[in-house]
Structure 1
């Protein structure tokens, strides 16, 4: 799935960039768009979320079956200088991950096939604060890298649910913190600026809410469970 995301990003970036590089057209579109102190926009995109596990004992890995999720949000941009911007990008990120456990986790216990799988739905209200470092504008495009910190509130966490995995409920924490890094290209079209970008998002805190039983086959062997994801966003300003 990650390879597919990189391929899509490459196609979005390569085709317009190659047209700009080899075209003789030198007219600058939307010439003053980057000169305003504050500017706004919105984005839509896709995500692929995963989990990174650290374990207490040497057992088979918990497998994560990922799905393609959806991102949507707003952009607020504050110009610092010609090459540096501060950006706030509040939005919504929705995904589903399915955890698959090896049978060895249930050794000596009675279990069914449904016990070997857990569906984890996540609906993040997601607020990143980012620094955008851009190159000099080249004709009608401008590459950049971006990085920063973000926080998220998971509306699907089940953190306060008294039932745990013994009742079929896999629980995660509500509040999450991330750092993120990415890159993209601003394309200056006639009426607006279009920006495809790709970004890696990495959790700083453990997301798992553990079961009441310390020997739970679902959570007992997990030291930390941290989210990580790949975002492909299309921004319009």
Structure 2
């Protein structure tokens, strides 16, 4: 067969060949993009569901570590400007300080949507009140203390999706300070506060089920209800304080 005839029938440099090549390349690129999705879907179908009978057990026990960030919510006295006998005092604030908490958890199953949880623990706090002066250095009163805290919360959980689910929680916390030395604190001009507290608490969490345990990071917000300020005659600047309530934002790491 004449070679010129072949060249005439199959013109490799023609526009039709270029269009075909572009279409082929597009198909190949599309297949390459869809392949990982197909593989992921195939893998998803065979993901093992860990601890399938978890909710069949009424009570679960675990432990946790937590990192609280805490401060006082402070209210001035109405006569703040004259109550301190110090005209150079500009303001009183409470900065946020970090602490540490460790404890154990008891989770009681109620129904498909609600659980009741207790998370008693020991907390170490360093709460502070800072005094700013117009023509002098700032001063601070620090309350370093150890608390035994008993949170009681109700937990509302979503439907489980394979090995994970979200939840909300709300409840109350009873706190008791354990290492109090009132006389020493007052003699040194330190911050004097009550040794008990009652707070409301709410938060959000995420449960991830593994083969041998459950891990749940959680974020809680805590607001103290009573006035914990007990007065302090050793520090005249604190006379401008009318009310102190506790406040904390805490990151929990639960293991069950």
With the shorter chain as reference, the TM-score category is 0.7 to 0.9
Is the Cα contact below 8 Å between 1:66 and 1:96 reproduced in 2?
Answer: no
Q: Structure 1 residue 86: deviation in Å?
A: 0.5
1:221 equivalent in alignment to 2:244: no
- Residue matched to 1:30: 51
1:90 equivalent in alignment to 2:110: no
User: Cα distance 1:157–1:49, how it changes in 2: closer, same or farther (>3 A)?
Assistant: farther
Gaps of 5+ in 1: 1-19
For 2:203, what is the secondary structure of its paired residue? strand
Distance 1:84 1:39 in 2: 14
Distance 1:230 1:162 in 2: 30
- Residue matched to 1:198: 219
- Residue matched to 1:70: 100
Distance 2:241 2:61 in 1: 42
Q: Structure 1 residue 119: deviation in Å?
A: 1.5
For 1:227, what is the secondary structure of its paired residue? strand
Distance 1:56 1:168 in 2: 20
Q: What do residues 62-121 of structure 1 show as CA deviations (whole Å, max 9, x unaligned)? A: 2223332111001011110011001111001112133210226xx9xxxx85x8211221
Q: What do residues 187-222 of structure 1 show as CA deviations (whole Å, max 9, x unaligned)? A: 001101100000001101111110248x9321x121
CA RMSD of aligned residues (A): 2.5
Distance 1:68 1:89 in 2: 20
1:225-236 pair list within 5 angstroms:
225-236=244-255
Detail structure 1 runs of 4+ shifted over 3 Å in the superposition: 20-23, 57-61
1:139 equivalent in alignment to 2:169: no
Q: Structure 1 residue 162: deviation in Å?
A: 6.9
Gaps of 5+ in 2: 1-39, 82-89
For 1:138, what is the secondary structure of its paired residue? coil
- Residue matched to 2:207: 186
For 1:119, what is the secondary structure of its paired residue? strand
- Residue matched to 2:21: none
Structure with more of its chain in helix, by fraction: 2
For 1:81, what is the secondary structure of its paired residue? coil
Is the Cα contact below 8 Å between 1:121 and 1:156 reproduced in 2?
Answer: no
- Residue matched to 1:102: 132
Number of residues of Structure 1 aligned to a counterpart in Structure 2? 207
Distance 2:65 2:243 in 1: 31
- Residue matched to 1:16: none
Distance 1:22 1:157 in 2: 60
Is the Cα contact below 8 Å between 2:91 and 2:133 reproduced in 1?
Answer: no
For 1:65, what is the secondary structure of its paired residue? coil
Give the TM-score of the pair, scaled to structure 2.
0.74
